[in-house]
Amino acid sequence: MSLLDIHVLGSPVLRQVTTPVETVTDELRQLIDDMFETMYAAEGIGLAAPQVGRTERIAVIDIREEGADPFVIINPEIIETEGTARAEEGCLSIPDVYGDVDRATLVVVRALDRDGKPFEIEAHDLLARCLQHEIDHLHGRLFIDYLGLLKRRAALKKWEKLRKDDQSVIRSITPKEVARHHHRDEEL
Ligand code: K1U
Ligand code: ZN
């Protein structure tokens, strides 16, 4: 498995609409494994293909809660929603920038699994939020798009300040992040 570089705000791939997967090949299964490894090293609860520079409609999710197993969604569609709640979100592609986003509290998502088999998942609360965040990535949308004008402006200002000394649109996971991730695994 390998760690993938993460694209950050400013990289055009984050704004692209992804392409549906026709066949889940071994090459795509390798990509999925690498995405899981990258998500864990970056300490995220989800990761979508555009964040690693890919245009396939694929995202991986692990909210690390008891009873919630990691899973991949391929060609996901939200087929039902219920309720709304506002909560703070961040994004591995806009590190250290946060904002409150209204999302459905319940979603039903239909997708393909890593063997290309269709499944449906009913998700609540954080898992529902994470699914919506990742599916947004697959449509070129970012959480900052939902912020009001002033909050969005403040978020972008913070982002510009943070990246003043590094304008690159791709970030590599640092050895420090990898070490922290391994250390946490050993503790568990
Ligand atoms: O796609 C990404 O950028 C990953 C992102 C997904 C996310 C889902 C739901 C709410 C916010 C963000 C993250 O993993 S951000 C970091 C994170 O680990 C986290 C976020 C919320 C609660 C717990 C952890
Ligand atoms: Zn994100």
Q: Which residue, judged by its Cα, is nearest atom 2 of ligand 1?
A: 91
Atom from ligand 1 closest to the CA of residue 44: 14
Query: What tokens were used for 45?
Result: 């609860």
* CB of 62 shorter than 6 A to ligand 1: no
Model confidence pTM above 0.85: yes
Residues 6+ positions from 119 with CB-CB distance below 8 Å: 110, 111, 112, 113
Which residues are the active-site residues? Answer: 134
Place 178 in a pLDDT band, splitting at 50, 70 and 90. Answer: confident
- The one-character DSSP state at 104 is -
Across residues 80-104, what is the average pLDDT?
98
Does the pLDDT value for residue 188 go beyond 60?
Answer: no
* CB of 7 shorter than 6 A to ligand 1: no
CA distance 185 to 18: 32
Question: Which of 79, 77, 83, 7 is CA-nearest to residue 38?
Answer: 7
